[in-house]
Structures are given as structure tokens and as C-alpha cells.
Amino acid sequence: MSGRSSRCEPSLVFFLAHPALPLIPTLPLSPTDRQCQAFRTDLLDWYDEHKRSMPWRETNDPYRIWVSEIMLQQTRVSTVRDYYHRFLEAFPSVEALAAADRDTVLKHWEGLGFYARARHLHEAAQRVVDEHDGAVPDTMDAIKDLKGVGPYTAAAVLSIAYQRPHAVLDGNVTRVLSRVFAVDEDATTSAAQGHLRDLANELLAPERPGDFNQAMMELGALVCTPSTPHCDRCRLNAVCRAHDAGTEESYPITPESDPVPHKDIAVGLVFGDHDRLLIQRRPDEGLLGGLWEFPGGKQEGEESMEAACRREVKEELGVGMTDVEPFYTLSHAYSHFKITLHAFRGRLADGPPEAREDQPFRWVTVDELDDYAFPRANRRLIEELERRQTEPSLFD
DNA sequence: GACGCGTGGAA
DNA sequence: TTTCCAAGCGT
């Protein structure tokens, strides 16, 4: 960015108009220094008055702030709160996290989703201990080198924990700036993201970078919301180009989303000796990587769901089932497809099972299932198992 | 650059 | 009911 005071909205006009008149000009694509300062002051004043209480705002510990930012990726504040407390109680320091078992880390992440975050955070903690003497890096190059730390998280941790002048660009900031500046390009493109990031860095309050970043996100979460934004309560409405034009809800501009595919999945609740159930661990990478589950998979061709269940159990563990009967059916949505999960219960017909590479199995009692990290859909089956265990009359 | 990757709450 | 999408990142 250059020549910022010689654009279509001359700074002199803004200077004369701003203090006294209601005719405040909306912000040009290259705001002047004075316009940026007014923006910062208005935003931070609002933030100081209206910011919500959050557990990670009670600490200066870079490790805790890092953990919170990983959890907050694509995840709402209200969801993160409890996970944050439990996770930091279990792993109060980066050393404690680094020394933990992967399964224990995943168990504390169970239900939070995007499980690669937990695996990467765990691995990154071990690198911080081994390569940085246990100190979360305070430079852009070093922190972005950690797994799971991208442009957003790097800027967030550096600004909030270390007061470094890096603007974040998340969904909130994208929306707020797209509206304030009426950005008429697809906001999901890298070109637009670059423009928005430049704008955010120009506006950034250098003396309070962490608060500025959180203020932008807080405004997006509380006031400048995706649908029906509350412009009447917005401290920036006077300079917002979209509000000036009455087109707030048309920003940010995003492409139409693709239809979500649906799959039918069959899983087997395979009972062996002593009423133990057969579970297996998913491969480390990919969907739900590292979590435990009941064996199963996609229905193929014209086969029945029960046939799909038998086939998948045979393919994954090399064993057959007897006394197979329908147990429970549920619907579930993942990030990029939906499923109907058809669960069958039955007994081990032969055996013993053989584990496939990277997919170990175990025999566990219903009570012991709680010790393992399961995907949400499997957890719902477990809840049903426990419900029927306490109400035996419903088992038939 | 496009796609894969969870979950739950709000509209 | 369905759709949207939230403090994004890795490959």
C-alpha cells in the first residue's frame, strides 16, 4: 500500500468533516492514517465496554493462549469453554502435554471435532519442549513452523501473548472488513484475502494489537453477524460502506456451496466372551484419525445393510458374525457429507480377529468404552448401549 | 488452488 | 427441516 493520503477521499475533507458533522465519509479502500486512528479508537472503546468474559482472557501464559486458539479454529466460543478448562487441567503446561499419550490427548478432545488439531498440537508441544526449551515461539517464522499453526493462529498468538503487531484474518474479520469497505470480490480467493489482510494490518492498533484483533472478532461475533447484523448498535456504522448503501447482508461475497452427499454406513456391535465388545482404532491420518470405533463401512451396490455389516467386519477384522439383528439407526452430519448409520448387534462367529496395519482392535466392556475417544456418531451408539443395559426389558 | 477435515447452534 | 458456518490448516 502506498499513497494512502491521496485517494478519492482526501484526508483534509475527512479531517474537517469528522469532528462535527453527521456526514462522515465512509472508508475508502486506502484509509488515511487519521481514518485508521479513528477506526481503532472507536473499535477499542466499544471492545473495552462490551467484551465478553473468556477464560483465556484471564491469562498471559502463551501456552494457554496457544491452546485456546487451536480449539477456537472453526469452533464457537461457547463450545470451547468446557474443553479448554478440562484440557488445561489435564495438561497444565506444555511439558505435561508433550509427555502425554496420544490417546489421552484425543480423549480430552473427544467431541470437539477436527481431530487433526489435537494430533498436531500434541506433536507441536513436543517440538516446543525439545527445540524451544518449552517456550512457545515468539517470532512469525518459528511459530508458523509448528503443525497446526497457520497464518491466523500465528498472528493471534503473537499479538495476544507477545503484543506483536500482526493482524488476524478470520471469518469475523473477513466479514467486518468486507462490509466496512464494501469489498466487491469473492472473499474466499487468496487475492481478496491478501487485500483484506493488508487492510487489517493498516488498521491494526500497534499499541494494542492483541486487543484490536480480539475486538474485530468480538464485533463480528456479537454485532456484525452473518445474517441480520445489528448495525444500529455498531460503533463503526458511520464509516461502513455497506451500511451506507444498505447492503450489509450481501457481504462478504462467497461462492455457492456444493450439495452435500449422503452415505449409508453399516457397523457391527460384535460381542465376544464375557460380553466384551470389539472396537478398533482408525488410521492416524484422515477422517477421525486416531479415534476408536465399532467396525463397519459403506454400503456397496445393492447389498442389504446387514450384508454390508457382515462384509465390513470380515474385511476389517477377518471374522464373521452370528445372531445378527438390527440395533439402532441414526443420522449424522460430518463436515463434508452426511450419513445414516445402521448399527447391528451380533456375536463373534469365529476368530480370533486379526488387526490390519495401523488399526489395532480391543475387546472391552460397555463400561470401559468411556475410556476411549470415539466419534460423536459412535458415542451415540454407546449411549444407546448404556441405556439398554440399565433397562434390560427393552433389550428385546 | 482445491479439497478434506467434526460438531453443534442459530436462522 | 435444511442450511449455514464458526477465532483455519494441511496436503
CATH number, residue A136: 1.10.340.30
- Write out the DSSP string of A74-99: TS-HHHHHHHHHHHHHH--SHHHHHH
* Residue A393 pLDDT grade (very low, low, confident, very high; cuts 50, 70, 90): low
Arithmetic mean of pLDDT over chain A: 91
Give the bridge partners for A321, in sequence order. A348
Give the type of residue at A293: E
The residue from A226, A250, A274 where one domain ends is: A250
pLDDT at A171 over 80: yes
* CA angle (A155 as vertex; A149, A157 as ends), nearest 5: 75
Residues A126 and A237 in one domain: yes
- Write out the DSSP string of A220-280: HHHTS-SSS--GGG-TTGGG-HHHHHT-GGG-S--PPPPPPPEEEEEEEEEE-GGG-EEEE
Residues A346 and A298 in one domain: yes
Tell me the three-class secondary structure of A128-146, residue by residue.
Answer: HHHHHCCCCCCCHHHHHCC
The residue from A221, A250, A279 where one domain ends is: A250
| A197 CB-side CA count, 13 A | 15
Residues A336 and A228 in one domain: no
* CA angle (A295 as vertex; A294, A301 as ends), nearest 5: 130
For chain A, percent of residues with pLDDT exceeding 70: 93
Residue A256 lies in a domain: no
The residue from A209, A226, A250 where one domain ends is: A250
Residues A180 and A53 in one domain: yes
Residues A102 and A193 in one domain: yes
Q: Which nucleotide is nearest to A285 (CA to C1')?
A: B5
Residues A184-190: what's their mean pLDDT? 93
Residue A255 lies in a domain: no
User: Å between A44 CA and B6 C1'?
Assistant: 33
Q: Which nucleotide is nearest to A218 (CA to C1')?
A: C7
Residues 6+ apart with CB under 8 A from A72: A80
Angle (deg, nearest 10), helices A190-203 and A33-50: 80
* Residue A131 pLDDT grade (very low, low, confident, very high; cuts 50, 70, 90): very high
A366 is near strand C: CB distance < 7 Å: no
A72 is near strand C: CB distance < 7 Å: yes
Give the type of residue at A12: L
Give the bridge partners for A347, in sequence order. A271, A322
Span A77-110, pLDDT tens digits: 999 999 999 999 999 999 999 999 999 999 999 9
B10: residue with closest CA to C1': A227
Q: Which nucleotide is nearest to A335 (CA to C1')?
A: B6
Mark whether A69 is an active-site residue: yes
Which of residues 137-196 of A have CB within 7 Å of strand C?
A: 146-154, 156, 170-172, 175
A297 is near strand C: CB distance < 7 Å: no
Residues 6+ apart with CB under 8 A from A267: A293, A294, A295, A296, A309, A312, A341, A342, A343, A344, A378, A381
Please count the other Cβ atoms lying within 10 Å of the Cβ belonging to residue A364: 16
Residue A1 lies in a domain: no
pLDDT of amino acid A39:
95
Residues A347-364: what's their mean pLDDT? 92
* Nearest-angstrom CA–CA distance, A113 and A96: 22
Which residue reads 487485500 in cell numbers? Answer: A195
State the cell numbers at A287: 477422517
Residues A223 and A284 in one domain: no
Residues A15 and A161 in one domain: yes
Domain limits for position A72: 11-250
Q: Which nucleotide is nearest to A282 (CA to C1')?
A: B5
pLDDT at A14 over 50: no
Q: Which nucleotide is nearest to A76 (CA to C1')?
A: C6
pLDDT of amino acid A278:
98
* Nearest-angstrom CA–CA distance, A236 and A27: 10
State the cell numbers at A258: 456444493
Footprint of strand B on the protein (CB under 7 A): A 74-76, 78-79, 111-116, 189-191, 225, 227-228, 286-289, 332-336, 375-377
User: Å between A309 CA and B3 C1'?
Assistant: 29
Residues A237 and A377 in one domain: no
Residues A242 and A311 in one domain: no
Spell out the alpha helix ranges (H) of chain A: 11-17, 33-50, 62-71, 77-90, 94-99, 102-109, 116-132, 140-144, 151-162, 171-180, 190-203, 209-222, 241-245, 305-317, 376-390
Residues A127-133: what's their mean pLDDT? 98
Whichever domain contains A286, its CATH number is 3.90.79.10
A55 is near strand C: CB distance < 7 Å: no
| A390 CB-side CA count, 13 A | 6
User: Å between A201 CA and B7 C1'?
Assistant: 32
Please, which positions of strand C sit below 7 A from a protein CB? 3-10
Q: Of the listed A9, A58, A69, A300, which one is catalytic? A: A69
Total domains in chain A come to 2
Please, which positions of strand B sit below 7 A from a protein CB? 1, 4-9, 11
